[in-house]
Structure formats: C-alpha cells, structure tokens
C-alpha cells in the first residue's frame, strides 16, 4: 500500500517479471540473441531515474532478495502479477517461466498472482500443457508473446485458427485475462508481430475474456486507441508507458496519458512496473504526484484525480483478478465502479 496526503492506494503491479538471463542460461549457438535481448532490455532501464539504474550483471539475474525488497518492502506493491516470457530458443531453462515464478510465489503466499502462457504453434501438446498448468497453478491469466520465435517461425497472431482454439480452451478452463505484449520491438524480434489488429478480432469473438494490451501498442498507440474504444473488453496495460516515458519524456508522457484517458478511460487502464526493467517505487511515487504540465496544450484532455489514480494503480487490476481490496483503500460509492464492461465509448474508427 502507498499512502500520500492521507489517501491510501492499494497497489497491484499487474505486469512484472522474475527472469534469469545470466550467461549460464544462454543456449549454445544462440548466445548473440540471448545477450542482445537482455542488453536491449537494459537500455530501457536507462529511461528511468539515474539512481535506479543497475549494472548489467545484476540486471541479467537480480534474484529473489532484490525482487522482494524492490517490489514489496520498498516498492509499495500489495499484489504482483507474474507475467512469463519463455524465449527458450535463446535461454536454456527459459527467460522467465511460469514454473520459476510459481516456485517463488509458493515461498511467499498471498504476494503473487502466477500467470501462464500458451503458444498456438504447440498444438495438442500445448493444450495439454495449458490444462496441466491451470490444474497445478490455478492460473487466471496468461501472457501472450506473439513475436516469440519457434523453429523457423518468427511469430504468430491471435487471428490464427489455432490461436482461437487456445482462446476457447482458456475460456473453458476459467482463464479470464489475456495479456498480450504489443509494444516496442525488441531486437531481434519482427516488428509485424506487435501489430494490434489481431486483438480487435479476438476481443470481438471472445467477449467473456479480457484483453490487456501491455505497453498499449507503442509504437502504434493510435491503432491501439482506435481499437480499444470499440471493444469493451480491451484494457490498456501501462507497463513501459510510466516506466519509459514519465521520467525520460515527461511531455510525451502527459500527452500519451491524456490520449489514453480520453480514448480508453481510467476504468480500463492498469499499472504494471515491468520489474526488473524498472523498480515500482519511483513509478508509483511519481504517478501519484503526477498531473499535466501547466500548458494549454493539455487543456482538452480528461482530468485525473485521486480516484483515477487509485483505479489505475490497483483497483482495476484487482477487479480483473478478483483480488480483495481492504476497505480503507476502496473508493467511496460515488466514484463509480472500476473496470465496468460497458465503459466503451463506442466510436467507430
């Protein structure tokens, strides 16, 4: 929980990681990709305040102690949602797997939500694995990485018939939340895999699932916003938006937030630190203090207040995951229910 000026914020970090990118985990013959990937990630950390930068050695494998301190002891987070990223083509045991995440979660009960993943290219074996993961970990959400390499394939889309089979299976198994990475291209992944058009189709055809577009489709935020206004079950995942822009590019950040608040709305925006890229502490402190710069350029954008920030920092994600929020952190009744399904603006693109 974070408290400022007497207001208490329940914090759900809805997008964070526990990875191992140390050289011992690099796949022989693919070391250049494994090294290039983590170095590219590391550059993103440079967009945060200087005092929060880590040396690359720590960044490759920060370990349990640092994570628990940075996220919970010092980072104000109440519940953190582990989002896996496998990348087994480059990392022997995977970059950041459900299994590794679940092992840490088991040591710290009540702190984490463990999400799974699937890849439609895995076919029947993938379906069986998904069933086993739901059975074992009680998964309520999955993270999709459509740009992930597999053999000769350089990615897939949610529009693929095989992906529909997995979406239907997810729904049948009680999974509610589909997080999709749609963000800046990370070398060496293909740029096309991050196009947001496929989310549009899937969100229409699976209205009972929630689609949280992580990184809001940057660098295609306009495509994302046009789409999100039409789909009541599409959410804006703010990882990278706050971490990558709030400190480094405050004016762009203000505009991006203004556009998201206008097109998507405060009921459908969710905070994610993207730890270990960025620590949550400075992001939460900065966002609670944040307002538009005093300039008429920003005057048309929707205003943001304490209730908006409470929703974005935790209440919206708590609702998506059925997390109980302490009474002292809830909104008074008149502030409205967060994350209402009928909140779409209904504007045609």
Partner 1 sequence: MTQAAQVLAALDTVRDPELDELRALFLRKAVLAGADLVCRPLLSAGRSVADLADLTLGDVPPSEELTRLRARRAELGLPSGDESPLLVDAVTGEPIARDDLTLHLGKARLTRVGVEANTGICRGLLHERYGASPSRDTLVHHGKEAR
**DSSP strand E in the chain: where?**
2-4, 7-9, 12-16, 79-82, 112-114, 141-144, 177-181, 210-214, 234-237, 269-270
Minimum Å gap between C-beta 101 and partner 1 is: 27
Q: Out of 111, 154, 169, 184, which residue is the one contacting partner 1 (CB under 8 A)?
A: 184
Nearer to partner 1, 199 or 256 (CB): 256
| Closer residue to partner 1 (CB): 139 or 225 | 225
> Which of 152, 296 has the CB closer to partner 1?
296
Q: Does residue 208 contact residue 168 with C-beta atoms inside 8 Å?
A: no
CA angle 277, 280, 281 (to 5 degrees): 130
Query: Residue 56 interacts with partner 1 (CB under 8 A)?
Result: no
CB of 184 to partner 1, least distance (A): 6
Per-residue interface string for the shown chain with partner 1, residues 308-337, x marking contact by CB under 8 A: ------------------------------
CA 273, 277, 280, 285 torsion: positive or negative?
Answer: negative
Q: Does 303 bind partner 1 (CB under 8 A)?
A: no
C-alpha–C-alpha distance, residues 25 and 346, integer Å: 47
Burial class (CB in 10 A: 0-12, 13-18, 19+), 2: buried
Site for partner 1 in 72-131 (CB under 8 A): none
Does 261 sit near partner 1 (CB under 8 A)? no
- Report yes or no: 199 and 180 within 8 Å, Cβ to Cβ: yes
> Which ranges of 176-217 would DSSP assign to H, the alpha helix?
197-205
SS3 79: strand
**Contact present, 126 and 119 (Cβ < 8 Å):** yes
The reply to whether 251 sits near partner 1 by the rule CB under 8 A is: yes
Q: Residue 91, Cα to own-chain centre: how many angstroms?
A: 21
Measured from the CB atom, the residue of 111 and 155 that comes closer to partner 1 is 155
When the beta carbons of 164 and 262 are compared against partner 1, the nearer one is 262
Site for partner 1 in 212-231 (CB under 8 A): 218-222, 225-226
Tell me: does residue 276 bind partner 1 (CB under 8 A). Answer: no
Per CB under 8 A, 181 contacts partner 1: no
Name the DSSP letter for residue 294: S
Count of residues that interact with partner 1, criterion CB under 8 A: 30
Among 245, 246, 284, 315, binds partner 1 (CB under 8 A): 245
Site for partner 1 contains 182 (CB under 8 A): no
Q: Does residue number 195 form part of the binding site for partner 1 (CB under 8 A)?
A: no
Q: How far is the CB of 226 from partner 1 (least distance, A)?
A: 7
Residue 275 CB partners (closer than 8 Å, separation 6+): 13, 16, 17, 67, 70, 71, 75, 80
User: Least separation, in Å, of the C-beta of 113 and partner 1?
Assistant: 28
**Are residues 326 and 10 in contact, defined by beta-carbon separation less than 8 angstroms?**
yes
Give the whole-angstrom CA distance, residue 1 versus residue 77. 6
Output the smallest distance, CB 167 to partner 1, in A: 27
Least Cα distance to 140 among 199, 79, 194 occurs for 79
**Which parts of this chain interact with partner 1 (CB under 8 A)?**
39-40, 43-44, 46-47, 184, 218-222, 225-226, 244-245, 248-249, 251-252, 255-256, 258-259, 262-263, 295-297, 347
């Amino acid at each position: 929980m974070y408290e400022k000026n007497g207001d208490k914020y329940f914090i759900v970090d809805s997008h964070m990681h526990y990875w191992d990118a140390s050289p011992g985990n690099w796949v022989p013959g693919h070391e250049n990709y494994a090294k290039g990937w983590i170095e590219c990630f590391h550059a993103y950390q440079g967009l945060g305040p200087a005092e929060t930068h880590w040396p690359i050695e720590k960044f490759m494998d920060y370990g349990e102690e640092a994570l628990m301190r940075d996220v919970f002891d010092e980072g104000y987070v109440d519940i953190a949602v582990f989002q896996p990223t496998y990348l087994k083509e480059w990392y022997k045991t995977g970059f950041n797997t459900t299994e590794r995440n679940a092992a840490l979660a088991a040591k710290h009960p009540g702190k984490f939500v463990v999400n799974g993943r699937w890849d439609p290219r895995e076919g029947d074996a993938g379906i069986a694995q998904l069933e086993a993961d739901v059975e074992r970990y009680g998964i309520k959400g999955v993270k999709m990485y459509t740009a992930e390499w597999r053999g000769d394939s350089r990615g897939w889309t949610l529009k693929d018939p095989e992906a529909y089979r997995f979406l239907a299976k997810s729904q049948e198994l009680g999974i509610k939340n589909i997080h999709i990475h749609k963000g800046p291209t990370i070398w060496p992944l293909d740029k096309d895999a991050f196009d947001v058009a496929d989310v549009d189709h899937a969100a229409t055809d699976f209205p009972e699932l929630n689609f949280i577009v992580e990184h809001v489709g940057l660098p295609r935020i306009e495509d994302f916003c046009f789409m999100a206004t039409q789909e009541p079950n599409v959410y804006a995942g703010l990882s990278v938006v706050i971490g990558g822009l709030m400190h480094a590019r405050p004016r762009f950040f203000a505009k991006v937030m203004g556009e998201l608040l206008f097109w998507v709305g405060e009921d459908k925006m969710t905070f994610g630190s993207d730890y270990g890229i960025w620590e949550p502490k400075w992001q939460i402190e900065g966002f609670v203090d944040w307002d538009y710069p005093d300039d008429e350029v920003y005057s048309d954008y929707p205003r943001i207040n304490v209730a908006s920030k409470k929703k974005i920092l935790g209440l919206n994600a708590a609702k998506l995951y059925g997390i109980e929020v302490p009474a002292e952190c809830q909104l008074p009744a008149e502030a409205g229910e967060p994350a209402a399904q009928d909140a779409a603006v209904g504007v045609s693109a």
